[in-house]
Structure 1
Amino acid sequence: MGRLEDLRINAYLSEVARGYTNSAFIADSLFPTVESDLEKVEIFEFNKEAFQVYGTERAIRAESNVVSPKRFNKKLTTLTEHDLAYPIDYREEEESKKVKLQLHATNVVTEGLKLKQEKQCADLVQDPAN
């Protein structure tokens, strides 16, 4: 059975699947996206001391708990572009008017890009060297 046959048969199933979103994605919460117009950017690289947990409790009339400022480095990096395409033949488009194939294609591509980002973030978080 060809792809055109699948489009004709699965119109209702496609409507149900089109509304699905993966609510388990957490990469944006851990690593928020920062928009940039430039491909080469400077990022701040903090030392481990920048994430030290300090003692903050203070007795009455005692000296304040003073934090020594730590140095950080700037690092020049080049951003990369991620791209994903979902080709749709004009015959498929004509045959799938009820299925809204372009909307489905957009969802597939968007979820694919999000899943790739999720995997990259999971690898970073689970790497003991970080």
Structure 2
Amino acid sequence: PWEGLTGTSSRSPFQSSTWDISTWLLLMEEEEEEEEEEEEEEEEEEEEEEEEEEEEEEEEEEEEEEEEEEEEEEEEEEEEEEEEEEEEEEEEEEEEEEEEEEEEEEEEEEEEEEEEEEEEEEEEGRRRQSIR
């Protein structure tokens, strides 16, 4: 693994006479820094993904709420329509009852008039007989 760093040896840098320890330490520090940076980047990416997921969940919840509201509105409208229809039916029934009552009253009046006419005719018949 140390080949190329020392130029000739494949032994550890500490065994190499040409190896400079400070250079090796610098390389190790750079490697650590790179690893830390990579870890930070990964953490940031994970945080971003989590935020995106949260946003998506919030959007889904909002959509669900909107759908529920729409359904409630539709139900209310249907109920209102049903109530209106019931009211109309009741009004029609009342009108029909009123018409029936009027017809009955008219029939009663006609019957009374007929009775009166019959009585008058009977009285006239009696008068004629009494005149004779």
Q: Which has the larger radius of gyration?
A: 2
Check whether TM > 0.5: no
Structure showing the higher strand proportion among its residues:
1
TM-score by length of 1: 0.27
Structure showing the higher helix proportion among its residues:
2
TM-score by length of 2: 0.27
Question: Larger RCO: Structure 1 or Structure 2 (Cα < 8 Å, ≥ 6 residues apart)?
Answer: 1
